């Protein structure tokens, strides 16, 4: 158990819908990262938040947005869902920013868009 | 831009043998970090080992060691005395900078495509 929690574990929804994925980092971790894992794209970095502020952005679609709240939990919002958004979405957390800080991953949310 | 290459899509090894999973990387950053993660069939990503680019010694964590050859830009994972429970996908990753460059706290992991390791009894 990494200490990172993600809910829900599984999500099945229809195209065009909007969903929210939730992540709680390990106690004491200030950085939260979101990754998408799909068969064709592999593991892709989406976005990072550090202590409530966006710090780094990857290939995140405009239909996707995220935020980190004062209690440091984070939410990833996916809207106008398409079949290709079906993937495993991971949240990870680390102590801080630059440095040898390993990222600890949550169990993931498996999103299926039908 | 950072890039990680794992050239072995799959590997089959007998139990108790040592196994080396290959990873090469490309980066223009003078300072970087290299990670290995394990992903069992259950799906979670488990951190295994970390190597910093300025570390003088190769990293070791129990049965895992990282064969870091900076000049060759390789960071191979060595698992000694493999066990059935080692069967999983293994990902090599590099800590790179996010789109905002060197802003304090900005970093991301760039992953390779992974190697599926199967340990045979």
Q: pLDDT by residue (tens digit) across B21-58?
A: 999 999 988 888 899 999 999 999 999 999 988 888 99
Query: How far is B58 from B112, CA to CA, in rounded Å?
Result: 20
Q: What is the pLDDT of residue A95?
A: 82
Query: How far is B23 from A103, CA to CA, in rounded Å?
Result: 19
Kindly report, residue by residue over A16-52, the tens digit of the pLDDT: 999 999 999 999 899 999 999 998 889 999 999 989 9
Window A:20-49, CB contacts with B under 8 Å:
30-31, 33, 35, 42-45, 48
Given B99, B102, B111, which is nearest A43 (Cβ)? B111
Kindly report, residue by residue over B53-88, the tens digit of the pLDDT: 888 899 999 999 999 999 999 999 999 999 999 999
B103 against A14, higher pLDDT: A14
Residue to substitute from B99, B110, B114, interface A, most A β-carbons within 10 A:
B99
Sign of the C-alpha dihedral computed for residues B17, B112, A33 and A41 taken in this order: negative
Query: How far is B8 from B5, CA to CA, in rounded Å?
Result: 9
Helix (H/G/I), strand (E/B), else coil: B84: helix
Q: What is the pLDDT of residue B99?
A: 45
Which residue does chain B place closest to A91, by CA atoms? B45
Question: How high does pLDDT run on average in chain B?
Answer: 90
A66 against A94, higher pLDDT: A66
Q: Is the pLDDT of residue A99 over 60?
A: no
Neighbours of A8 (CB within 10 A): 13
Q: Is the pLDDT of residue A109 over 50?
A: yes
- Note whether A56 contacts B52, CB cutoff 8 Å: no
- Note whether A35 contacts B97, CB cutoff 8 Å: no
Which residue does chain A place closest to B91, by CA atoms? A43
Q: Is the pLDDT of residue A101 over 80?
A: no
Q: Does A9 touch chain B (CB under 8 A)?
A: no
Buried b (16+ CB within 10 A) or exposed e, B85-111: ebbbbbbbbbbbbbbeeebebbbbbbb
According to DSSP, the β-strands at A10-13 and A109-113 are parallel
Given A35, A55, A92, which is nearest B103 (Cβ)? A55
According to DSSP, the β-strands at B46-52 and B108-111 are unpaired
- Note whether B109 contacts A103, CB cutoff 8 Å: yes
Chain A nearest CA to B89, separation (Å): 12
Kindly report, residue by residue over A75-89, the tens digit of the pLDDT: 999 999 999 999 999
- B89 vs A contacts (CB less than 8 Å): none
Which residue, among A4, A13, A24, A27, has the nearest Cα to A87 in the 3D structure? Answer: A13
Query: What confidence tier does A55 reach under pLDDT thresholds 50, 70, 90?
Result: confident
Q: What is the pLDDT of residue B106?
A: 57
Which residue does chain A place closest to B54, by CA atoms? A100
Burial of A42 (C-beta count, 10 Å sphere; 0-12/13-18/19+): middle
> What separation in angstroms does the CA of A57 have from each of A49, A50, A51, B6, B99?
9, 12, 15, 24, 6
Question: How high does pLDDT run on average in chain A?
Answer: 93
- Evaluate whether B113 touches B87 at the Cβ level (below 8 Å): no
Query: What confidence tier does B102 reach under pLDDT thresholds 50, 70, 90?
Result: very low
CA geometry: angle B41, B66, B50, nearest 5 deg:
75
Query: What confidence tier does B97 reach under pLDDT thresholds 50, 70, 90?
Result: low
- Note whether A50 contacts B52, CB cutoff 8 Å: no
Q: What is the mean pLDDT of residues A78-105?
A: 87
């Amino acid at each position: 158990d990494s200490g990172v929690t993600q809910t829900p574990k599984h999500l099945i929804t229809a195209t065009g819908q909007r969903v929210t994925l939730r992540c709680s980092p390990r106690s004491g971790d200030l950085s939260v990262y979101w990754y998408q894992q799909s068969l064709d794209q592999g593991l892709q970095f989406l976005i990072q938040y550090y202590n409530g502020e966006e710090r780094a952005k990857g290939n995140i679609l405009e239909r996707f947005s995220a935020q980190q709240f004062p209690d440091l939990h984070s939410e990833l919002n996916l809207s106008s869902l398409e079949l290709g958004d079906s993937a495993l979405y991971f949240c990870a957390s680390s102590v801080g920013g630059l440095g040898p800080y390993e990222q600890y991953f949550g169990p993931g949310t498996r999103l299926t868009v039908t | 831009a950072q890039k990680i290459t794992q050239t072995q899509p799959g590997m089959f090894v007998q139990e108790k043998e040592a196994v080396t999973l290959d990873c090469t990387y490309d980066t223009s950053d003078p300072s970087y970090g290299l990670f290995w993660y394990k992903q069992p069939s259950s799906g979670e990503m488990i951190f295994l080992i970390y190597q910093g680019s300025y570390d003088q010694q190769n990293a070791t964590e129990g049965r895992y060691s990282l064969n870091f050859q900076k000049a060759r830009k390789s960071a191979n994972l060595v698992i000694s005395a493999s066990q059935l429970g080692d069967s999983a996908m293994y990902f090599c990753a590099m800590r790179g900078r996010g789109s905002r460059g060197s802003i304090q706290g900005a970093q991301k992991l760039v992953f390779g495509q992974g190697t599926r390791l199967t340990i045979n009894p």
